[in-house]
Amino acid sequence: MPFLLAATALIVGVLFWVLRMHRVSRDLKELDRDTKGLQLRAGGLSTSIIGTPLQRVDDVRLAAAILMLQIVRTGSPITAAERSRILGFLAHPLEVANPAAMLDRAWGYTAERWPFSLVADPLIPLLRAHLTEAERTELFTMLTAVAGAHSPPGELQREALVRLRKRLLAGPTALAAAR
């Protein structure tokens, strides 16, 4: 008899604990759902004060390396031909002292299969402020060459390049109207 009483108490205790944890879990999910807007606003406030890592980039050559990497990472993993083309552009037109180190540094700002515009848009003000019209055109030419280093640019890459060209080469009034 004491054994049955202890077993019943154990079963009731476990059942009580499981039901209580289920209720706590449900309440936490409901609280999370109710405060989602506040969470988003809090994140937006910190990025508006500090800025995103891409907004803090202040080197035009690093920005160019980031864009060259991201245009090839938009569709598929980077190939040896694309990597060597990027390193070549970093060495010659951009005159980076250590192209491999710059490429590694730029790698941290990119992610595979991210939309190109998420990376390019924060960098456009920097590029527009520091590059002449001819340098912007040369950057666009480099990006097009990198996108086609392994195979012809895909549809996503072509659309991203067209959008970047409009934003980068547009006059000040056209850029202000786009905002």
pLDDT digits (tens, 9 = 90+) for 75-94: 678 889 999 999 999 998 99
On average, the pLDDT of the chain sits at 85
Does the structure show a pLDDT above 70 at 71?
yes
Does the structure show a pLDDT above 60 at 97?
yes
For 62-71, 95-104, 106-115, 170-179, which range has the lowest pLDDT when averaged over its residues? 170-179
pTM of the model: 0.69
Residue 33 pLDDT: 74
164 vs 46: CA distance, rounded Å: 27
> By percentage, how much of the chain surpasses pLDDT 70?
84
Does the structure show a pLDDT above 90 at 173?
no
Report DSSP state, residue 65. Answer: H
Which run of H or of E encompasses 79? Answer: none
Closest CA to 80 of 103, 98, 63, 110: 103
73 vs 104: CA distance, rounded Å: 14
Does the structure show a pLDDT above 60 at 156?
yes
Q: Hey, how many other C-beta atoms are within 10 angstroms of the C-beta on 156?
A: 15
Both tokens of residue 122? 């924060």
Give the torsion through C-alpha atoms of 90, 146, 121, 179, to 10 deg: 120
Residue 127 pLDDT: 95
